[in-house]
Structure 1
Amino acid sequence: MKLYIIRHCEAEGQAPEAMLTAVGMEVRKRLESYQIEQVISSPYKRALQTIETFVQDNGIPFKVDERLKERVLSSENLTDWLEKLQQTYIDQDLKFDGGESSNEAVNRMIELVNELRQGNNSSVAIVTHGNIMSLLINHYNSDFGFHEWKQLSNPDVYEIDFNSKDIKANRIWGNEIEFI
Protein backbone atom coordinates (compact mmCIF):
# COMPACT_ATOMS: atom_id res chain seq x y z
CA MET A 1 0.00 0.00 0.00
CA LYS A 2 1.08 3.56 -0.69
CA LEU A 3 0.07 6.13 1.90
CA TYR A 4 -0.06 9.81 1.02
CA ILE A 5 0.15 12.05 4.09
CA ILE A 6 -1.26 15.45 3.18
CA ARG A 7 -0.93 18.54 5.31
CA HIS A 8 -3.91 20.81 4.77
CA CYS A 9 -3.69 23.87 2.55
CA GLU A 10 -3.06 27.38 3.87
CA ALA A 11 -5.72 28.43 6.41
CA GLU A 12 -6.82 31.62 8.14
CA GLY A 13 -5.90 30.29 11.59
CA GLN A 14 -5.45 27.30 13.90
CA ALA A 15 -8.99 26.90 15.28
CA PRO A 16 -10.85 23.75 14.15
CA GLU A 17 -13.30 25.93 12.16
CA ALA A 18 -10.58 28.03 10.42
CA MET A 19 -11.27 28.30 6.67
CA LEU A 20 -8.78 28.04 3.82
CA THR A 21 -7.35 31.21 2.33
CA ALA A 22 -7.85 31.96 -1.38
CA VAL A 23 -4.33 30.64 -2.04
CA GLY A 24 -5.13 27.44 -0.15
CA MET A 25 -8.22 26.78 -2.20
CA GLU A 26 -6.33 27.03 -5.51
CA VAL A 27 -3.54 24.54 -4.80
CA ARG A 28 -5.68 21.54 -3.85
CA LYS A 29 -6.29 20.81 -7.58
CA ARG A 30 -2.70 19.54 -7.77
CA LEU A 31 -3.78 16.39 -5.91
CA GLU A 32 -5.31 15.03 -9.10
CA SER A 33 -1.86 13.80 -10.25
CA TYR A 34 -1.87 11.10 -7.54
CA GLN A 35 -3.54 7.68 -7.86
CA ILE A 36 -5.63 7.77 -4.66
CA GLU A 37 -8.34 5.16 -4.00
CA GLN A 38 -9.58 6.36 -0.60
CA VAL A 39 -9.28 9.57 1.43
CA ILE A 40 -9.54 9.95 5.19
CA SER A 41 -9.49 13.41 6.73
CA SER A 42 -9.21 15.23 10.00
CA PRO A 43 -12.55 16.69 11.07
CA TYR A 44 -11.11 20.23 11.08
CA LYS A 45 -12.61 22.52 8.42
CA ARG A 46 -9.25 23.38 6.80
CA ALA A 47 -8.48 19.70 6.23
CA LEU A 48 -11.97 18.98 4.87
CA GLN A 49 -11.83 21.98 2.52
CA THR A 50 -8.40 20.88 1.29
CA ILE A 51 -9.78 17.61 -0.03
CA GLU A 52 -13.55 17.99 -0.57
CA THR A 53 -13.48 19.10 -4.22
CA PHE A 54 -10.90 16.48 -5.09
CA VAL A 55 -12.94 13.58 -3.69
CA GLN A 56 -16.21 14.89 -5.17
CA ASP A 57 -14.76 15.50 -8.63
CA ASN A 58 -13.05 12.10 -8.72
CA GLY A 59 -15.70 9.99 -6.94
CA ILE A 60 -13.21 8.79 -4.34
CA PRO A 61 -14.52 7.14 -1.14
CA PHE A 62 -14.12 9.55 1.76
CA LYS A 63 -14.47 9.51 5.52
CA VAL A 64 -13.54 11.59 8.54
CA ASP A 65 -11.46 10.17 11.37
CA GLU A 66 -10.89 11.92 14.70
CA ARG A 67 -7.43 10.36 14.98
CA LEU A 68 -6.23 12.74 12.25
CA LYS A 69 -7.05 15.91 14.20
CA GLU A 70 -4.17 18.13 15.28
CA ARG A 71 -2.32 17.31 18.43
CA VAL A 72 -3.17 19.50 21.41
CA LEU A 73 0.04 20.64 23.09
CA SER A 74 -1.78 22.07 26.13
CA SER A 75 -5.21 23.28 27.10
CA GLU A 76 -3.52 26.38 28.51
CA ASN A 77 -2.36 29.36 26.44
CA LEU A 78 1.43 28.89 26.50
CA THR A 79 3.38 32.04 25.68
CA ASP A 80 6.48 29.89 25.12
CA TRP A 81 4.59 27.22 23.13
CA LEU A 82 7.25 26.94 20.42
CA GLU A 83 9.97 26.13 22.96
CA LYS A 84 7.66 23.67 24.70
CA LEU A 85 6.79 22.04 21.39
CA GLN A 86 10.49 21.64 20.62
CA GLN A 87 10.95 19.90 23.99
CA THR A 88 8.31 17.33 23.01
CA TYR A 89 10.44 16.26 20.05
CA ILE A 90 13.31 15.55 22.45
CA ASP A 91 11.24 13.96 25.24
CA GLN A 92 8.39 12.25 23.44
CA ASP A 93 6.66 11.38 26.73
CA LEU A 94 6.60 15.03 27.86
CA LYS A 95 3.03 16.15 28.41
CA PHE A 96 1.62 19.55 29.35
CA ASP A 97 -1.67 20.27 31.14
CA GLY A 98 -4.60 19.15 29.01
CA GLY A 99 -2.40 18.07 26.12
CA GLU A 100 -1.00 14.95 24.49
CA SER A 101 2.56 13.74 24.55
CA SER A 102 4.23 13.12 21.20
CA ASN A 103 3.98 9.38 21.83
CA GLU A 104 0.26 9.55 22.62
CA ALA A 105 -0.41 11.55 19.48
CA VAL A 106 1.65 9.39 17.13
CA ASN A 107 0.16 6.20 18.55
CA ARG A 108 -3.32 7.20 17.39
CA MET A 109 -1.90 7.86 13.93
CA ILE A 110 -0.05 4.53 13.85
CA GLU A 111 -3.25 2.76 14.88
CA LEU A 112 -5.02 4.26 11.85
CA VAL A 113 -2.13 3.48 9.48
CA ASN A 114 -2.06 -0.14 10.65
CA GLU A 115 -5.81 -0.44 9.99
CA LEU A 116 -5.31 1.00 6.49
CA ARG A 117 -2.50 -1.46 5.78
CA GLN A 118 -4.89 -4.31 6.56
CA GLY A 119 -7.41 -2.98 4.01
CA ASN A 120 -7.75 -3.69 0.31
CA ASN A 121 -6.69 -0.31 -1.09
CA SER A 122 -3.32 0.01 -2.77
CA SER A 123 -3.29 3.82 -2.36
CA VAL A 124 -4.79 5.88 0.47
CA ALA A 125 -4.48 9.57 1.36
CA ILE A 126 -4.85 10.99 4.85
CA VAL A 127 -5.36 14.72 5.33
CA THR A 128 -4.07 16.06 8.60
CA HIS A 129 -2.06 18.81 10.32
CA GLY A 130 1.59 19.79 10.59
CA ASN A 131 2.54 18.67 14.09
CA ILE A 132 0.79 15.32 14.00
CA MET A 133 2.04 14.75 10.45
CA SER A 134 5.62 15.41 11.53
CA LEU A 135 5.30 12.93 14.39
CA LEU A 136 4.09 10.23 12.00
CA ILE A 137 6.92 10.96 9.58
CA ASN A 138 9.36 10.81 12.50
CA HIS A 139 8.07 7.32 13.27
CA TYR A 140 9.40 6.19 9.88
CA ASN A 141 12.30 8.69 9.51
CA SER A 142 13.91 9.24 12.90
CA ASP A 143 15.93 12.20 11.58
CA PHE A 144 12.72 14.15 10.93
CA GLY A 145 12.14 16.38 13.94
CA PHE A 146 11.33 19.86 15.14
CA HIS A 147 13.50 21.64 12.55
CA GLU A 148 11.82 19.76 9.70
CA TRP A 149 8.36 20.41 11.17
CA LYS A 150 9.11 24.14 11.05
CA GLN A 151 9.87 23.84 7.33
CA LEU A 152 6.67 22.06 6.32
CA SER A 153 4.52 23.99 3.88
CA ASN A 154 0.75 24.31 3.46
CA PRO A 155 0.03 22.04 1.73
CA ASP A 156 2.72 19.40 1.95
CA VAL A 157 2.61 15.78 0.81
CA TYR A 158 4.70 12.81 1.86
CA GLU A 159 4.45 9.29 0.51
CA ILE A 160 5.17 6.05 2.34
CA ASP A 161 5.39 2.93 0.20
CA PHE A 162 4.74 0.00 2.50
CA ASN A 163 5.52 -2.39 -0.37
CA SER A 164 9.15 -1.31 -0.23
CA LYS A 165 11.78 -3.11 1.89
CA ASP A 166 12.96 0.23 3.27
CA ILE A 167 9.86 1.97 4.68
CA LYS A 168 10.55 5.71 4.66
CA ALA A 169 8.42 8.81 4.33
CA ASN A 170 9.48 10.65 1.18
CA ARG A 171 8.48 14.19 0.38
CA ILE A 172 6.80 14.36 -3.00
CA TRP A 173 5.31 17.84 -2.89
CA GLY A 174 6.07 20.97 -0.88
CA ASN A 175 8.88 23.42 -0.25
CA GLU A 176 12.37 21.98 -0.22
CA ILE A 177 13.62 20.82 3.18
CA GLU A 178 17.29 20.86 4.05
CA PHE A 179 18.02 18.15 6.61
CA ILE A 180 20.58 19.28 9.15
Structure 2
Amino acid sequence: MGSLTTVYFVRHAHSEYSTDELGRPLSKKGLADAKRVAKRMEKESVNIVVSSPYKRAIQTVEGIAGYFQVEIEAIEELKERVLASGEVSDFNTAIEKVWTEETFAWDGGESNIIAQKRGVRALFHLLKQYENKNIVIGTHGNIMVLIMKYFSKEYDFYFWRNLQMPDIYKLTFEGQQLQAVQRIWEDHNG
Protein backbone atom coordinates (compact mmCIF):
# COMPACT_ATOMS: atom_id res chain seq x y z
CA MET A 1 0.00 0.00 0.00
CA GLY A 2 1.51 3.31 -1.05
CA SER A 3 0.89 6.69 0.46
CA LEU A 4 -2.69 7.73 1.05
CA THR A 5 -4.35 11.09 0.57
CA THR A 6 -7.65 11.72 2.30
CA VAL A 7 -10.28 14.05 0.88
CA TYR A 8 -13.26 15.19 2.91
CA PHE A 9 -16.04 16.47 0.69
CA VAL A 10 -18.15 18.80 2.82
CA ARG A 11 -21.39 19.65 1.08
CA HIS A 12 -22.53 23.09 2.19
CA ALA A 13 -25.22 23.55 4.80
CA HIS A 14 -28.65 25.07 4.11
CA SER A 15 -28.56 28.49 2.48
CA GLU A 16 -31.12 31.19 1.83
CA TYR A 17 -32.18 30.79 -1.77
CA SER A 18 -31.38 33.68 -4.08
CA THR A 19 -30.16 34.08 -7.64
CA ASP A 20 -26.82 35.34 -6.32
CA GLU A 21 -24.81 32.13 -6.65
CA LEU A 22 -21.55 33.66 -5.48
CA GLY A 23 -22.77 35.64 -2.49
CA ARG A 24 -25.68 33.56 -1.22
CA PRO A 25 -25.10 33.01 2.52
CA LEU A 26 -26.06 30.18 4.82
CA SER A 27 -29.42 30.39 6.56
CA LYS A 28 -29.73 30.42 10.36
CA LYS A 29 -30.12 26.64 10.32
CA GLY A 30 -27.16 26.42 7.92
CA LEU A 31 -24.92 28.41 10.25
CA ALA A 32 -25.89 26.19 13.19
CA ASP A 33 -25.17 23.08 11.09
CA ALA A 34 -21.80 24.51 9.99
CA LYS A 35 -20.83 24.61 13.69
CA ARG A 36 -21.74 20.92 13.96
CA VAL A 37 -19.70 20.17 10.86
CA ALA A 38 -16.65 21.81 12.47
CA LYS A 39 -17.25 19.84 15.68
CA ARG A 40 -17.48 16.56 13.74
CA MET A 41 -14.28 17.33 11.84
CA GLU A 42 -12.32 17.96 15.06
CA LYS A 43 -12.11 14.14 15.34
CA GLU A 44 -10.24 14.02 12.04
CA SER A 45 -6.81 15.31 11.16
CA VAL A 46 -6.88 18.15 8.63
CA ASN A 47 -3.94 19.79 6.83
CA ILE A 48 -5.58 21.74 4.03
CA VAL A 49 -8.95 23.44 3.57
CA VAL A 50 -10.05 24.44 0.09
CA SER A 51 -13.48 25.50 -1.08
CA SER A 52 -15.71 26.50 -3.90
CA PRO A 53 -15.58 30.32 -4.12
CA TYR A 54 -19.29 30.44 -3.27
CA LYS A 55 -20.04 32.00 0.12
CA ARG A 56 -22.27 29.15 1.34
CA ALA A 57 -19.49 26.60 0.75
CA ILE A 58 -16.83 28.78 2.40
CA GLN A 59 -19.07 29.47 5.41
CA THR A 60 -19.64 25.73 5.89
CA VAL A 61 -15.89 24.98 6.23
CA GLU A 62 -14.85 28.17 8.07
CA GLY A 63 -15.11 26.50 11.46
CA ILE A 64 -12.90 23.61 10.33
CA ALA A 65 -10.24 26.01 9.01
CA GLY A 66 -10.44 27.96 12.27
CA TYR A 67 -10.02 24.87 14.43
CA PHE A 68 -7.02 23.56 12.47
CA GLN A 69 -5.63 27.09 12.00
CA VAL A 70 -5.35 26.98 8.24
CA GLU A 71 -6.39 29.43 5.56
CA ILE A 72 -9.21 28.54 3.17
CA GLU A 73 -8.08 28.52 -0.44
CA ALA A 74 -10.97 29.25 -2.82
CA ILE A 75 -10.76 27.25 -6.05
CA GLU A 76 -12.83 28.50 -8.96
CA GLU A 77 -13.07 25.05 -10.60
CA LEU A 78 -14.82 23.66 -7.51
CA LYS A 79 -17.84 25.95 -7.84
CA GLU A 80 -21.25 24.38 -8.29
CA ARG A 81 -22.22 23.23 -11.75
CA VAL A 82 -23.95 25.90 -13.78
CA LEU A 83 -27.37 24.55 -14.68
CA ALA A 84 -28.40 27.38 -17.02
CA SER A 85 -27.58 31.04 -17.60
CA GLY A 86 -30.93 32.23 -16.24
CA GLU A 87 -33.66 30.85 -14.01
CA VAL A 88 -35.03 27.45 -15.04
CA SER A 89 -38.82 27.21 -14.93
CA ASP A 90 -38.79 23.78 -13.29
CA PHE A 91 -35.62 22.94 -11.40
CA ASN A 92 -36.48 19.25 -10.89
CA THR A 93 -37.15 18.60 -14.56
CA ALA A 94 -34.06 20.60 -15.57
CA ILE A 95 -31.75 18.75 -13.18
CA GLU A 96 -33.15 15.32 -14.04
CA LYS A 97 -32.58 15.98 -17.74
CA VAL A 98 -28.86 16.78 -17.34
CA TRP A 99 -28.38 13.68 -15.18
CA THR A 100 -30.19 11.48 -17.69
CA GLU A 101 -28.23 12.77 -20.68
CA GLU A 102 -24.71 13.53 -19.56
CA THR A 103 -23.76 15.51 -22.69
CA PHE A 104 -26.91 17.67 -22.62
CA ALA A 105 -26.63 21.27 -21.43
CA TRP A 106 -29.29 23.92 -20.94
CA ASP A 107 -28.69 27.31 -22.46
CA GLY A 108 -25.63 28.85 -20.82
CA GLY A 109 -25.28 25.84 -18.54
CA GLU A 110 -22.83 22.96 -18.19
CA SER A 111 -23.52 19.37 -19.13
CA ASN A 112 -22.71 16.70 -16.56
CA ILE A 113 -19.65 15.68 -18.57
CA ILE A 114 -18.28 19.25 -18.78
CA ALA A 115 -18.88 20.01 -15.09
CA GLN A 116 -17.42 16.63 -14.13
CA LYS A 117 -14.23 17.24 -16.15
CA ARG A 118 -13.76 20.60 -14.44
CA GLY A 119 -14.26 19.13 -10.96
CA VAL A 120 -12.09 16.05 -11.55
CA ARG A 121 -9.29 18.22 -12.96
CA ALA A 122 -9.36 20.32 -9.78
CA LEU A 123 -9.39 17.18 -7.61
CA PHE A 124 -6.44 15.57 -9.44
CA HIS A 125 -4.50 18.81 -9.06
CA LEU A 126 -5.16 18.78 -5.29
CA LEU A 127 -4.22 15.07 -4.98
CA LYS A 128 -0.89 15.83 -6.63
CA GLN A 129 -0.22 19.08 -4.81
CA TYR A 130 -1.13 17.72 -1.37
CA GLU A 131 -0.19 14.07 -1.61
CA ASN A 132 -0.31 12.23 1.77
CA LYS A 133 -2.26 15.09 3.31
CA ASN A 134 -5.83 15.35 4.58
CA ILE A 135 -7.78 17.83 2.50
CA VAL A 136 -11.19 19.32 3.27
CA ILE A 137 -13.12 20.50 0.22
CA GLY A 138 -16.07 22.84 0.77
CA THR A 139 -18.37 21.85 -2.03
CA HIS A 140 -21.85 21.52 -3.54
CA GLY A 141 -24.12 18.54 -4.15
CA ASN A 142 -23.99 18.34 -7.93
CA ILE A 143 -20.29 18.92 -8.50
CA MET A 144 -19.36 16.61 -5.60
CA VAL A 145 -21.46 13.71 -6.93
CA LEU A 146 -20.23 14.29 -10.48
CA ILE A 147 -16.62 14.03 -9.26
CA MET A 148 -17.45 10.85 -7.30
CA LYS A 149 -19.28 9.43 -10.34
CA TYR A 150 -16.03 9.66 -12.31
CA PHE A 151 -14.72 6.87 -10.08
CA SER A 152 -17.91 4.83 -9.72
CA LYS A 153 -21.28 4.79 -11.49
CA GLU A 154 -23.15 4.25 -8.21
CA TYR A 155 -22.87 8.00 -7.54
CA ASP A 156 -25.81 9.02 -9.67
CA PHE A 157 -28.90 11.21 -9.69
CA TYR A 158 -30.55 9.18 -6.89
CA PHE A 159 -27.44 9.33 -4.76
CA TRP A 160 -27.39 13.11 -5.25
CA ARG A 161 -31.08 13.40 -4.41
CA ASN A 162 -30.54 11.62 -1.11
CA LEU A 163 -27.67 13.79 0.06
CA GLN A 164 -28.15 15.78 3.22
CA MET A 165 -27.39 19.47 3.64
CA PRO A 166 -24.72 19.56 5.01
CA ASP A 167 -23.11 16.19 4.37
CA ILE A 168 -19.57 14.82 4.68
CA TYR A 169 -17.93 12.08 2.64
CA LYS A 170 -14.42 10.85 3.35
CA LEU A 171 -12.58 9.58 0.27
CA THR A 172 -9.25 7.80 0.47
CA PHE A 173 -6.92 7.90 -2.52
CA GLU A 174 -3.72 6.12 -3.39
CA GLY A 175 -2.26 8.39 -6.05
CA GLN A 176 -5.29 9.11 -8.26
CA GLN A 177 -6.97 5.79 -7.48
CA LEU A 178 -9.99 5.94 -5.20
CA GLN A 179 -9.63 3.29 -2.49
CA ALA A 180 -12.59 3.91 -0.19
CA VAL A 181 -15.59 6.14 0.42
CA GLN A 182 -17.18 6.57 3.81
CA ARG A 183 -20.00 8.87 4.86
CA ILE A 184 -19.02 10.38 8.20
CA TRP A 185 -21.89 12.80 8.78
CA GLU A 186 -24.58 11.73 11.21
CA ASP A 187 -28.04 13.05 10.49
CA HIS A 188 -29.74 15.06 13.19
CA ASN A 189 -33.35 15.86 12.77
CA GLY A 190 -34.54 19.15 14.08
Instruction: Give the TM-score band, short-chain normalised.
Output: 0.7 to 0.9
Q: Distance in 2 between matches of 1:61 and 1:76?
A: 33
Q: CA deviation at 1:166?
A: 5.8
- Residue 29 of structure 2: aligned partner: 23
- Residue 69 of structure 1: aligned partner: 79
Per-residue CA deviations over 1:96-130 (Å, capped at 9, x if unaligned) read 10000111111111111111121244211111111
Aligned counterpart for 2:160 among listed residues 132, 135, 149: 149
- Residue 95 of structure 1: aligned partner: 105
Per-residue CA deviations over 1:116-157 (Å, capped at 9, x if unaligned) read 121244211111111111111212221121111111111111
- Residue 37 of structure 1: aligned partner: 47
Per-residue CA deviations over 1:42-92 (Å, capped at 9, x if unaligned) read 111111111123212321242001111111111132222312211212211
- Residue 182 of structure 2: aligned partner: 170
Aligned counterpart for 2:17 among listed residues 1, 5, 13: 13
Normalising by structure 2, report the TM-score: 0.83
Q: Distance in 2 between matches of 1:72 and 1:120?
A: 27
Q: Distance in 2 between matches of 1:107 and 1:156?
A: 22
Q: Give the secondary-structure state (helix, strand or coil) at the position aligned to 1:162.
A: strand
Q: Which runs of 5+ in 1 are unaligned?
A: none
Q: Distance in 1 between matches of 2:30 and 2:136?
A: 18
Change (3 A) 1:83 1:64: same
Normalising by structure 1, report the TM-score: 0.88
Residues matched between the structures, number = 176
Q: Give the secondary-structure state (helix, strand or coil) at the position aligned to 2:170.
A: strand
Q: What percent of counterpart residues are identical?
A: 31
After superposition, the CA RMSD in angstroms is: 2.1
Structure 2 residue identity aligned to 1:6: V
Change (3 A) 1:90 1:77: same
Aligned counterpart for 1:134 among listed residues 133, 136, 145: 145
Structure 1 stretches of at least 4 aligned residues deviating more than 4 Å after TM superposition: none
- Residue 80 of structure 1: aligned partner: 90
Given the alignment of the two structures, is residue 124 of structure 1 paired with residue 135 of structure 2, yes or no? yes
Given the alignment of the two structures, is residue 112 of structure 1 paired with residue 116 of structure 2, yes or no? no
Check whether the contact 1:152–1:174 (CA below 8 A) recurs between aligned residues. Answer: no
